[in-house]
């Protein structure tokens, strides 16, 4: 067990990453991200990066100097130059502004047709003016390196305050440059205008990331969802960042790598998100929305009305052996792309809430509470189809790494399988069988059961039998080993229709076999 200060998030990569006390720790060492806001975090892995939501921060686990905010902003007041140029920032010669064609033009001369608002270049070969489809403007500032440090080429940004109205609004930065010894500049698309210099210009540039309820990674993109009011309007949307770039969520250039967003018609809040079989999947309590990822960028949103993730149980999503498990409003569900199947009938009719889960090997570990506030840690063996209750652990988050399951509960982090920290002492355990028929056709009946067990030194086990659903457990035998080994316990039964067995004890025990002897009446 490891003591933490104020844990808020956990993820397993090549090493464990944990948010504790407002700082991101990776592999046990603090990172430069040391001023995170209070509250629960979603940690999402994308390549070498760990992305932190809702703070919208990132950390490169391979390059320790690469970290910071996904968003960026730049406010500037001072001299701004506006110069017409091409998409790379190469400045055009001064064009002629007129409503009629200039007389006696030379090859390469520029003319702005003020009547139609079009920039044209003269082609001597064809002896005609050829329109330039996209007109770019270079904005040059007296800052030295601030812009290239905050923004990158092809960033999707919001711009306010420029002297040319067509340069304001949602824009793409087609080129950017500058440094400590030269002026900074950016290149934007805008309507042709005369080159000019504003001695007292003002500009605001922002690159933003949408607020999102849940985020997952799929196909080298981050995908997210949001339901609610963003301060301006009510939204019920799905988002995807630019391919390979989690900083850009507003890059729309008509390419397959563009950012993406879509409005959803189904009502209700989002309750979870996961990546499953190559598709991002988003949940509401009563339906599943899966996104068909397209190689050309035409992503499609599917909808299936069925049991979704229970509100408050978004941490219950886990993929084990190509099956997605999660906690719905009615029980634990297994989803394989069709309709989810409830697999928790063995847990009875008790309703559970606020589930937190993780998969390790072929086992699904899930911690959840009853309506009375009683916490339970259950384990589902996917290969055997058996449910087991371990204890009353309240898990805040899980992560699996290197064949170990890590759990944060309160201010403690546990290695559940004992690979780190102090090993747990002998624990008390109990298991109950279902109904075992003792009466067979042709007057056959079972008169003896024989259990063979392997137990550690000092372990002990008691065996109880319930006859014909009487509700009374009768003690039938006891095993106590003074040294590690195996033991056989024969049980003589009285005549009955059916029985149930209960084994309880302390210390390690493995049931090797259960055999029965039949007699004819």
What's the pLDDT at 443?
A: 61
- Is a pLDDT exceeding 70 seen at residue 208? yes
* Least confident residue range of 61-75, 308-322, 424-438: 424-438
What's the pLDDT at 10?
A: 96
Checking DSSP bridges between strand 96-98 and strand 110-113, what pairing results, if any?
A: parallel
- Is a pLDDT exceeding 90 seen at residue 55? yes
Q: Where in the chain is the domain with CATH 2.120.10.80?
A: 214-415
What's the pLDDT at 135?
A: 87
Cα–Cα distance between 16 and 14 in angstroms, integer? 7
| Maximum separation of any 2 CA atoms in the chain, in Å | 121
* CATH number of the 429-520 domain: 2.60.120.200
Cα–Cα distance between 249 and 268 in angstroms, integer? 24
* Per-residue confidence band for 300, with pLDDT thresholds at 50, 70 and 90: very high
* Least confident residue range of 46-50, 125-129, 158-162: 125-129
What's the pLDDT at 521?
A: 64
Structural tokens at position 135: 């007109």
What's the pLDDT at 446?
A: 77
What's the pLDDT at 336?
A: 94
Q: Where in the chain is the domain with CATH 2.60.120.200?
A: 429-520
**518 HSE (CA, 13 A, CB side):** 10
Q: Is 218:44 a contact under the CB 8 Å cutoff?
A: no
pLDDT in tens, 437-467: 877 666 667 778 899 999 988 899 999 999 9
Q: Is 157:173 a contact under the CB 8 Å cutoff?
A: yes
At residue 167, φ and ψ (nearest 5 deg) are -90, -5
Cα–Cα distance between 453 and 388 in angstroms, integer? 19
Helix (H, G, I), strand (E, B) or coil at 314: coil
Average pLDDT over residues 262-282: 96
Q: What is the DSSP letter of 504?
A: E
Task: Choose which CATH entry (2.60.120.10, 2.120.10.80, 1.10.3720.10, 3.30.200.20) describes domain 214-415.
Answer: 2.120.10.80
Structural tokens at position 244: 């390979």
pLDDT in tens, 109-144: 899 888 888 899 999 888 899 988 888 999 999 888
Q: pLDDT over 70 for what percent of the chain?
A: 98
Query: What average pLDDT does the structure give for the chain?
Result: 92
Cα–Cα distance between 394 and 312 in angstroms, integer? 14
In this structure, is the dihedral angle defined by the CA atoms of residues 327, 328, 329 and 330, taken in order, positive or negative? negative
Question: Whole-model pTM?
Answer: 0.87
Average pLDDT over residues 394-406: 93
Cα–Cα distance between 404 and 398 in angstroms, integer? 11
What's the pLDDT at 230?
A: 86
Q: Residue 91, Cβ neighbours under 10 Å: how many?
A: 12
Structural tokens at position 372: 């009375």
Q: Residue 282, Cβ neighbours under 10 Å: how many?
A: 25
- Is a pLDDT exceeding 70 seen at residue 217? yes
């Amino acid at each position: 067990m490891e003591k933490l200060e104020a844990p808020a998030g956990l993820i397993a990569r090549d090493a464990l990453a944990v948010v504790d006390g407002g700082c991101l720790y990776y592999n046990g060492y603090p990172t430069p991200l040391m001023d995170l806001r209070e509250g629960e975090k979603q940690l999402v892995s994308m390549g070498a990066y760990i992305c932190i939501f809702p703070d919208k921060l990132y950390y490169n686990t391979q390059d320790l100097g690469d970290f910071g905010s996904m968003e960026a902003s730049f406010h500037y007041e001072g001299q701004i130059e506006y110069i017409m140029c091409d998409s790379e920032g190469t400045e055009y010669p001064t064009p002629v502004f007129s409503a009629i064609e200039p007389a006696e033009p030379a090859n390469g001369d520029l003319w702005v047709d003020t009547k139609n608002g079009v920039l044209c270049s003269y082609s001597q070969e064809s002896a005609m003016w050829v329109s330039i489809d996209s007109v770019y403007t270079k904005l040059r500032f007296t800052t030295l390196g601030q812009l290239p440090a905050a923004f990158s080429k092809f960033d999707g940004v919001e711009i306010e305050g420029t002297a040319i109205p067509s340069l304001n609004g949602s824009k793409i930065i087609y080129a950017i440059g500058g440094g400590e010894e030269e002026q900074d500049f950016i290149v934007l698309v805008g309507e042709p205008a005369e080159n000019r210099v504003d001695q007292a210009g003002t500009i605001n540039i922002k690159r933003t990331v949408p607020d999102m309820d849940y985020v997952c990674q799929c196909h080298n993109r981050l995908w997210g969802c949001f339901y609610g009011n963003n301060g301006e309007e009510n939204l019920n949307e799905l988002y995807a960042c630019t391919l390979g770039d989690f900083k850009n969520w507003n890059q729309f250039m008509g390419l397959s790598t563009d950012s993406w967003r879509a409005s959803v018609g189904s009502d209700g809040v989002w309750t979870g998100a996961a990546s499953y079989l190559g598709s991002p999947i988003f949940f509401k309590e009563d339906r599943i929305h899966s996104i068909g990822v397209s190689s050309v960028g035409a992503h499609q949103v599917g909808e299936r009305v069925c049991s979704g993730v229970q509100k408050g149980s978004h941490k219950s999503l886990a993929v084990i052996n190509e099956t997605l498990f999660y906690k719905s409003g009615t029980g634990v569900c297994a989803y394989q792309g069709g309709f989810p199947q409830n697999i928790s009938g063995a847990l009875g009719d008790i309703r559970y809430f606020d589930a937190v889960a993780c998969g390790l090997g072929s086992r699904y570990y899930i911690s959840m509470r009853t309506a009375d506030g009683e916490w339970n840690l259950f384990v589902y063996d996917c290969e055997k189809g058996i449910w087991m209750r371990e204890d009353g652990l309240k898990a805040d988050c899980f992560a699996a790494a290197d064949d170990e399951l890590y759990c944060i509960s309160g201010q403690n982090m546990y290695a559940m399988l004992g690979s780190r920290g102090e090993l747990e002492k002998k624990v008390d355990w109990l298991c109950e069988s279902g109904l075992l028929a003792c009466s067979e056709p042709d007057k056959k009946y079972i008169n003896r059961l024989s259990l063979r067990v392997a137990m550690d030194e000092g372990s002990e086990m008691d065996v109880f039998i319930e006859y014909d659903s009487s509700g009374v457990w009768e003690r039938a035998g006891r095993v106590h080993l003074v040294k590690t080994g195996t033991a056989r316990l024969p049980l003589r039964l009285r005549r009955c229709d059916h029985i149930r067995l209960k084994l309880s004890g302390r210390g390690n025990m493995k049931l090797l076999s259960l055999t029965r002897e039949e007699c004819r009446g």
